[in-house]
Amino acid sequence: MEMRQPRRITRQLSPADEHRLKDNRQQIADELPDLITRDQMRDDASEEATLSGDLRRAVHASDVSLSRIAAEAGIPNLLLDEFLTGERTLRSDVMDRLATVLDYELEPQPPAAGETESSSEAR
């Protein structure tokens, strides 16, 4: 089957369209450094070898939208975003709700060598 080339339709921009385009480009240029920084924070936070890091990875791996995850966990979108970037921690009850929404199950780990069962429970 032969692939058709898309037709490009062009038109002259009105002065209002040109102004709007210039403003949009400036807004993107202004916001881009912050977005790059927040993306790096999000990556760093998701690599933590902690329960929070595990939950962050579960959120990122989920097919559910962030706004829906936040709504089902009963938390504001901003709180979820700040948790994902590592800017905020979550209370244990919020982490429980988030884990429930994500069907995340905590797998108990055996005590480290040299630790007794009671000393690992105290942590």
Average pLDDT estimate for 7-17: 88
Contact 48, 41 (CB under 8 A): no
> DSSP alpha helices (H): ranges in 1-123?
15-46, 51-61, 66-73, 77-84, 92-101, 117-122
Please state which of the four CATH numbers 1.10.260, 1.10.3470, 1.20.1070, 1.20.930 is assigned to the domain occupying 28-105: 1.10.260
Instruction: Quote the tokens at residue 23.
Output: 């403003």
Average pLDDT estimate for 20-35: 94
pTM of model > 0.85: no
Chain length of the chain: 123
Average pLDDT estimate for 12-21: 93
Distance between CA atoms of residues 101 and 98, nearest Å: 5
Residue 20 pLDDT class (50, 70, 90 cuts)? very high
Q: Domain boundaries in the chain? A: 28-105
Please indicate whether residue 105 or residue 18 has the higher confidence score (pLDDT).
18
